[in-house]
Structure 1
Amino acid sequence: MKQTRRTMCAAAILVVSLVAAINLALPALTTALHPTQSQLIWIVDAYVLTFACLLIPAGAAGDRLGAKGIMLTGLAIFATGSIAATLTQHPTPLIAARALSGAGAAMIMPASLSITVAAHPPNQRARAIGIWSAATGAAGIIGNIGGGLIIQYLPWQALFAIPALIALLLAATIAHLTPRQPHRQATIDPIGTLLLILGCLTLIYAIIEGPETGWTSTPVLSAFATATTLLTSFVLHQLRTPHPLLDPRLFTRPQLRAGTLGVSVLFFGLFALFFVNARFLQETHGFSPVVTGIAILPLVIPMIALSGRPTPPTPAIIGGLTAVITGLAWLAWATTQPYPLYALGLALMGTGMGLALPALSTKIITGLPTEQAGLGSGLNSAARELGSAVGIAIMGTALATSGLRAGFLIVALCVTAGAAPVIHALSKARSGSLGVGL
């Protein structure tokens, strides 16, 4: 049981850490490949967006076909994309390789949580989910430190070659040690999947291209209109089809609604920070890549410490969201201050993540029946990655148009707006909902 949990946490850490690690390579990639600002954002977001868009169907596929098989397939695709990234000499094929790796990551992430949940008896699942959540929350910091070491001492291609090797080693371990999971009756909705993927792609395209092309330009307005049409069509299709990929009526459950939106809001703020943190510390404070990776530790230490403490879920979530908002506002002020004051903002954000994330993830998984474990895992991961993708896009566009300080303030306002419906849903949730005891 412990061996399975550790292996699944390692697989999840691998795919999440690469989201953060790429940010440390942006200066090197800019020098080597000369991407435009839009291409630079797509180098980051192609992975995250593909990852996010495929998580829910990948989770359902794990329920239907077996999580172990989906996990091994995902590791193979992830490794293939990573190897392809090492061979690129131009931004466009690098973006395509990143997208392929993201597709593999989408298969790995929900399968890792589904296998973890299945490996534990019901009375230990909250603890297992909390440990998995803490590991994936810390993965961004692991990516920062590991990425910093790689960029400092190795060519940028090593940032993709080393994860490919790790993925292949994990695949061999899982094939040998992890038991197969039972198949369940789950539907892979091809029409719903296509509508969801296309809707998310066009939405993020509009957000990324807005500053460069113009928010009122025909391509951007057309993309927003298309995204609205596609996502509305997805919801209508899910309401009509007898076997929906993700029935929107599930979100009438306050616990599930609070968990999903809350996780998305937290990762929106966290990965908006990751997108600018490495470049800011290197360019403004003159830190090396290694020191930049270490400088994120004020965020990770409280995150790990607090994730290991049993906390009543509602106070933990509200307190955590408040700490993240406060941390973002503090960082906006601290961009012109010495690093120790900037580090205090990081510590506030780490405190918020450590308090709120395990409780929110548990609300998602326990908000669905056991036979929908894969779907719940996919939904939890999709909330993370969609929040991350939009956070990166919003911070990237704010940085290009308004500067770093305004970017932090805009992200803080967005997190505040997202926190309000989370708190409202918590107030409606049934009293005595499951807490998190690690």
Structure 2
Amino acid sequence: MSETALRAPSRPPGTREPAPSPRRPGAVLALMSACVVLAVALVAAVNLALPKLAASGLEPGHAQLVWIVDAYVLVFACLLIPAGALGDRRGRKGALLAGLAVFAAGCVLAALAPDVGVLIAGRALSGAGAALIMPATLSLAVGSAPPGRRAHAVAVWTAATGAAGIVGNLGGGLVLQYLPWQGLFWASAPLALLLLALTARLAPRMAPSPTAGPADPPGTALLVLASLALLTGIIEGPQHGWGSALVLGSFAAAAVLGALFLAHGLRSARPLFDPRVFRARALRGGTLGIAATFFGLFALFYVNAQYLQYEKGYSPALAGLAIGPVAVGMIAVSRYSPALVRRLGRTPLVAAGLTCVVAGLALLSLLTSGTPYVWYAGILLLLSLGMGLAMPALSTTVLGALPDARAGLGSGLNGAAREFGSALGVAVMGTVLAGTGRDGFTDGMATGFRVTAAVVAVLGAVTVWWLREPRGASAGRKRA
């Protein structure tokens, strides 16, 4: 399929048309948006806590700091599609309530953690809750809206996911300004329980879908284990040596488990997802482009708080505020992306956006402790401009590459690509920093951004190649 505008489905994919809700759909939409903000904001907020965690009595090493961030993102990414299928089969409201409860339990476990292992386990548990939250909120937001307002509901929900990173940085910075790192999790748990109570009261119940997708436990297990093995190899390489049995064994296990996951998807009657969907060039390009942009963005998020607090002497609250320019370009430019796609074409727009992202990452490699903040903010604006140009076009490409009957899979792939890219960006940046130590932080950061820029450049080139338009498409658009 070619360029497709983002449209709200007439109802959530695979569901019956819900009966009109006696409650105000605006309140339900606001509540669902708040749930999404909480789930996504914690990803960004935890990065701000890394300096305090590094200095805490837990004494985590470089690899453990990366796992504290990535445990949440990895579980979130791997369980996103099966959690959506579970909500379709068992009911979205029940899935959302369960997700908020699991999220809160993970936050409490993390806050009470006596050692790093328990903290990582708590983060993983919260990630499982987030995976249940995300797809259920979109289904409930769209399903509770009147037919003429469903596109608006999708737009508001999408905006909430974009704003969540800034909320996490600002809110997390304020919490960490006055409380120890545990305060971040103690603040998140009651918020999740409050949203749970409001959801139980306000959210409509929607009948489970008789045609819901499969949960596919074997496929899910293979995906989780393959992803865990890959990240283990990347994260543990600096500490154990790239030629060690642990690291080489992890990479070998990732390759074998990944191959088994693909084979299972090809042979299973109802797999987690069928790898044959990637025969569509647009779907391959869209998912790879999303993963590449979030790879770069979360490499920045991982190092931002440490750079501003270690090298610039900023407080946690000021460090959270200083990342604000990242949102400006995304918010200001993304609203014009559909019109720019119609005028210029999808491929040139994505190419321009990814070029800005690569340029921003390359410029970040030039930072020193003496770099004025105004220059730092300008680089963040350039990077966010690229995100604002590329991301809407990439997301609509993924959604438009599949028929409406498989829109749920498109949404799941969109979210999974975002979270997998985020996890890998954190892992790679953390791995590079682990080889330099605290005294060589700026040198390690520079190397990390150069590596990140190179990876995004290569993945971006492949993305643009896969998204290139057939001959004559540009001329036909200009005539129109």
State the TM bucket, normalised to the shorter chain. over 0.9
Residues 84 and 328 from structure 1, CA distance in 2 versus in 1: closer, same or farther, beyond 3 angstroms? same
Residues 367 and 69 from structure 1, CA distance in 2 versus in 1: closer, same or farther, beyond 3 angstroms? farther
Stretches of structure 1 lacking an aligned partner (at least 5 in a row): 433-438
Match of 1:91 among 106, 111, 116: 116
Supply the AA of the counterpart residue of 1:44. Answer: V
Would the aligned equivalents of 1:334 and 1:341 in 2 still touch at CA under 8 Å? no
Point out the structure with the larger helix share: 1
- Give me the whole-angstrom Cα distance separating, in 2, the residues matched to 1:241 and 1:407: 40
- Give me the whole-angstrom Cα distance separating, in 2, the residues matched to 1:427 and 1:301: 28
> How does the TM-score come out when normalised to structure 2?
0.85
Shift in Å, 1:374? 3.6
Deviations along 1:129-187, one digit per CA (max 9) or x if unpaired, are: 44433332332222111111001012321201111111112122222222223422221
Matches within 5 A, 1:104-143: 104-119=129-144, 128-143=153-168
Would the aligned equivalents of 1:199 and 1:228 in 2 still touch at CA under 8 Å? yes
- Give me the whole-angstrom Cα distance separating, in 2, the residues matched to 1:373 and 1:167: 28
Match of 1:176 among 186, 196, 201: 201
Deviations along 1:26-65, one digit per CA (max 9) or x if unpaired, are: 1211222211221111111111111111112112222222
Shift in Å, 1:253? 2.1
Shift in Å, 1:245? 0.9
- Give me the whole-angstrom Cα distance separating, in 2, the residues matched to 1:52 and 1:91: 22
Supply the AA of the counterpart residue of 1:359. Answer: A
Residues 123 and 319 from structure 1, CA distance in 2 versus in 1: closer, same or farther, beyond 3 angstroms? farther
- Give me the whole-angstrom Cα distance separating, in 2, the residues matched to 1:119 and 1:423: 37
Would the aligned equivalents of 2:96 and 2:132 in 1 still touch at CA under 8 Å? yes
Would the aligned equivalents of 1:53 and 1:197 in 2 still touch at CA under 8 Å? yes
Match of 1:319 among 346, 352, 355: 352
- Give me the whole-angstrom Cα distance separating, in 1, the residues matched to 2:244 and 2:181: 35
Supply the AA of the counterpart residue of 1:425. Answer: W
Which residue matches 1:330?
Answer: 363
- Give me the whole-angstrom Cα distance separating, in 1, the residues matched to 2:93 and 2:399: 19
Match of 1:65 among 90, 93, 103: 90
Residues 49 and 195 from structure 1, CA distance in 2 versus in 1: closer, same or farther, beyond 3 angstroms? same
- Give me the whole-angstrom Cα distance separating, in 1, the residues matched to 2:214 and 2:48: 39
Q: Count how many residue pairs are aligned between Structure 1 and Structure 2.
A: 432
Match of 2:387 among 344, 353, 358: 353
> How does the TM-score come out when normalised to structure 1?
0.93
Which residue matches 1:436?
Answer: none
Percent identical across equivalent pairs?
53
Q: Greater CA radius of gyration, 1 or 2?
A: 2
SS of the residue corresponding to residue 311 of structure 1 reads helix
- Give me the whole-angstrom Cα distance separating, in 2, the residues matched to 1:325 and 1:101: 32
Stretches of structure 2 lacking an aligned partner (at least 5 in a row): 1-24, 437-443, 475-480
Which residue matches 2:454?
Answer: 413
Match of 1:19 among 26, 31, 43: 43
Q: Does residue 393 in structure 1 map to residue 427 in structure 2?
A: yes
Which residue matches 2:217?
Answer: 190
Would the aligned equivalents of 1:129 and 1:358 in 2 still touch at CA under 8 Å? no
Q: CA RMSD in A?
A: 2.1
Residues 327 and 121 from structure 1, CA distance in 2 versus in 1: closer, same or farther, beyond 3 angstroms? farther
Supply the AA of the counterpart residue of 1:382. Answer: A
Matches within 5 A, 1:21-420: 21-32=45-56, 33-119=58-144, 128-184=153-209, 185=211, 186-309=213-336, 310-313=338-341, 314=346, 315-336=348-369, 337-401=371-435, 403-420=444-461
Residues 125 and 409 from structure 1, CA distance in 2 versus in 1: closer, same or farther, beyond 3 angstroms? farther
